[in-house]
Amino acid sequence: MATWVALLGSINVGGNNKLAMKDLRAILANIGYENVRTYIQSGNCVFETSETDTDAMARAIRTTVGKSADFEPAVYVYRETEIGDILRANPFHDGDPKKTHVFFLAEKSDAADLDAIKALAATNERFHLTDRAFYLHAPDGVGRSKLVAKLGKRLGVAMTARNINTLCEIAKLCGETGPS
């Protein structure tokens, strides 16, 4: 049995797509996932299963949530070790972990418009794009970032974001270690 992480997009954000984490844990348990745990109210789940098809797991979570909560969130599923790898790959270890975010990409961003992203970034914002993630250090906060508001369009892929502190807590739930 392997440990997996599911990140649900747009859960409990701005009063929309409300889903209590106890309900989400029950949904995952009903699917057949074991040892289900969540972290904060934004759709961060850790569970165990012998399944290995991440697309099938994401689809099962999305449709089962849809049946009980009247909305189908985007769902991104990762092996526990991938979360640790993504944390260790963070190029902004010197930045405030609350102000450094990882945008998990649904797929590789072959159409990323890096020139437009650079033009949108504030002078104190730093970013780095990999095949799996877009890292952003935004000292003034992502809520004030002009870049964040237009990032999805400029990357051309669906995504969900978590700050480094949240990812470290998710890694702890998995038993994974974060940046060293």
Q: What percent of the chain has pLDDT over 70?
A: 95
Average pLDDT, the chain: 92
Question: What is the pLDDT, as a whole number, of residue 41?
Answer: 86
Closest CA to 167 of 34, 36, 44, 24: 44
Q: How far is CA 132 from CA 83, 108, 128, in A?
A: 11, 6, 11
- Model confidence over 151-171: pLDDT tens digits? 999 999 999 999 999 999 999
**How high is the pLDDT of residue 180?**
45
As a whole number, mean pLDDT of residues 86-108 equals 93
Give the model's pLDDT for residue 13: 64
**What is the CATH number that goes with domain 84-174?**
3.30.70
- 150 has pLDDT over 50: yes
Query: Is the predicted pLDDT of residue 177 greater than 80, yes or no?
Result: no
Of 50, 56, 53, nearest to 1 (Cα)?
A: 50
Q: Tell me, yes or no, if the two domains 2-82 and 84-174 fold the same way.
A: yes
Cα distance between residue 147 and residue 3, in whole Å: 33
> Which has the minimum average pLDDT: 120-134, 144-158, 166-180?
166-180
Local confidence band at 176 (pLDDT 50, 70, 90 cut-offs): low
Report pLDDT for 17: 83
In the chain, what percentage of residues exceed pLDDT 90? 81
Residue keyed to tokens 């769902």: 75
The architecture that CATH gives domain 2-82 is 2-Layer Sandwich (3.30)
pLDDT at 15 over 80: no
Domain borders along the chain are 2-82, 84-174
State how far the alpha carbon of 36 is from the alpha carbons of 28, 111, 150, in Å: 7, 36, 34
The answer to whether residue 3 scores a pLDDT higher than 70 is yes
